[in-house]
Structure 1
Amino acid sequence: MFIEWLRSNAAAMWCLTIIRIYLGYQWVTAGYGKISGGFDASGFLKGAISKSTGEHPAVQGWWSAFLQHGALPGVGFINILVPFGEFLVGLGLILGTFTTFAALMGAVMNTAYLFSGTVSTNAQMLILEVLILAAGANAAKIGFDRFILPSLRSRTKNTHVSTIPAQTLVEKQ
């Protein structure tokens, strides 16, 4: 019932637009700050790895192993991916462009930050992103997806149509 309301109600559309723009602003400002001010994730990654020890670790061992053996050796890539990813997620949410994908990528980043032991606003943002994901296209009706999604749907339908004329198929039978 609630999901149906999120997906079809006009009031939900307006509420989701406000949530979307709020989240977008948070992501754009975080990403822009990292792009313009320089960003090095190695300290954050080392801090998260250090939180995986003790009686009640804030970071699970499996996530710490991933950070230590996957993310930390590839920190140069992470240093590019995080700031530009945050900025583009924010831009997508503000403009309502590929909104569900932007919300999904935001949710992935928030989850990674939570797994790394950083609560901050990540839990709140994750909940709001889940609402946008549950709402689907209704979350972006006030945005560029209103024009982009129908165009993509029509292109997808046209690519699945057989290229053999129907009359030729009838003649062969």
Structure 2
Amino acid sequence: MASREVTLESTVAGYTATGKLHTLSVWFILALRLMMGIAFFQSGLDKVLAGDFSAGGYLTQAVPSNRSPAADLFVAMGNTPWFVDFVNIAVPWGEVLIGLGLIFGALTRLAAFWGAFMMLLFYLGNWDVAHGYINGDFAYMLVFLSVAAFGAGRILGLDAYIERYEVDGQPLVERYPWTRYLLG
């Protein structure tokens, strides 16, 4: 098997970072996508099947008790009935859909974005900095962002096929470049 080194390079705010990927990197990127997909799918499915998920008490009681810097925002959300009704549907079904997107590698960047957003909210809601500001919720947020950045849906995923789907004789992502933000 021939080995090819792939060099990554990015410049942000005048600073350039470069690095070389190992040939096994693709498998680790796939593993991260599947790990987060299975974890979110299972968590969401458990909530959906239980049928009794309710975020109201968590938002109004648990978050303020842990002295989160966003406690007032969470309490306001928890005291807004229509918002609690929305969250009671969005969290379990969002986890299911994010999980399925990652497992199948379909709309991967979109799924990873919403997964990272949910993990940011969980990070703020489950505030615990007794051992530092980096905890599991924060780390999972970065995993979601890595999955999106690496285009993990192209690795044994449906995004590779969706991107090549032809619309008027042109691959989807060439005809509609904005779809790159959803796929990959």
Deviation sequence 1:105-143 (CA, Å, 0-9, x none)? 1110000011112567423322211221221x2553211
Q: Which runs of 5+ in 2 are unaligned?
A: 1-6, 10-17, 129-134, 178-184
Match of 1:110 in 2: 119
Instruction: Using the TM superposition, give the Cα deviation of residue 10 of structure 1 relative to its aligned residue in structure 2, in angstroms.
Output: 5.0
Q: Distance in 1 between matches of 2:159 and 2:24?
A: 18
Instruction: Using the TM superposition, give the Cα deviation of residue 159 of structure 1 relative to its aligned residue in structure 2, in angstroms.
Output: 6.5
Match of 1:85 in 2: 94
Q: Given residue 12 of structure 1, which amino acid in structure 2 is its aligned partner?
A: S
SS in 2 for 1:68: helix
Residue 20, structure 1, aligned to residue 33, structure 2: yes
Q: Distance in 2 between matches of 1:104 and 1:20?
A: 13
Q: Distance in 2 between matches of 1:43 and 1:142?
A: 41
Q: Does the Cα contact within 8 Å between 1:45 and 1:67 map onto a contact in 2?
A: yes
SS in 2 for 1:40: coil
Question: 1:20-169 residue pairs with structure 2 within 5 A?
Answer: 20-37=33-50, 38-51=52-65, 57=67, 59-60=68-69, 63-73=70-80, 74-118=83-127, 121-135=136-150, 137-151=151-165, 154-155=171-172, 157-158=174-175
Q: Distance in 2 between matches of 1:124 and 1:33?
A: 22
Corresponding residue pairs, total: 151
Q: Does the Cα contact within 8 Å between 1:114 and 1:123 map onto a contact in 2?
A: yes
Q: Given residue 90 of structure 2, which amino acid in structure 1 is its aligned partner?
A: L
Higher CA-based Rg: 1
Instruction: Using the TM superposition, give the Cα deviation of residue 68 of structure 1 relative to its aligned residue in structure 2, in angstroms.
Output: 2.3
* Bigger mean CA deviation after superposition, 146-155 or 28-37: 146-155
Q: Given residue 149 of structure 2, which amino acid in structure 1 is its aligned partner?
A: A
Instruction: Using the TM superposition, give the Cα deviation of residue 17 of structure 1 relative to its aligned residue in structure 2, in angstroms.
Output: 0.8
Q: Does the Cα contact within 8 Å between 2:37 and 2:100 map onto a contact in 1?
A: yes
Identify, as 1 or 2, the structure richer in strand: 2
Q: Distance in 1 between matches of 2:19 and 2:155?
A: 14
Aligned-CA RMSD value: 2.8
TM-score (norm 1): 0.74
Q: Which runs of 5+ in 1 are unaligned?
A: 161-173
Mark the CA change 1:5 to 1:141 in structure 2 (over 3 Å): closer, same or farther. Answer: farther
TM-score (norm 2): 0.70
Mark the CA change 1:86 to 1:118 in structure 2 (over 3 Å): closer, same or farther. Answer: farther
Q: Distance in 1 between matches of 2:152 and 2:93?
A: 26
What percent of counterpart residues are identical?
A: 23
Match of 2:131 in 1: none
Mark the CA change 1:29 to 1:156 in structure 2 (over 3 Å): closer, same or farther. Answer: closer
Which structure's relative contact order is higher, taking Cα pairs within 8 Å and 6+ residues apart? 1
Q: Distance in 2 between matches of 1:84 and 1:146?
A: 25
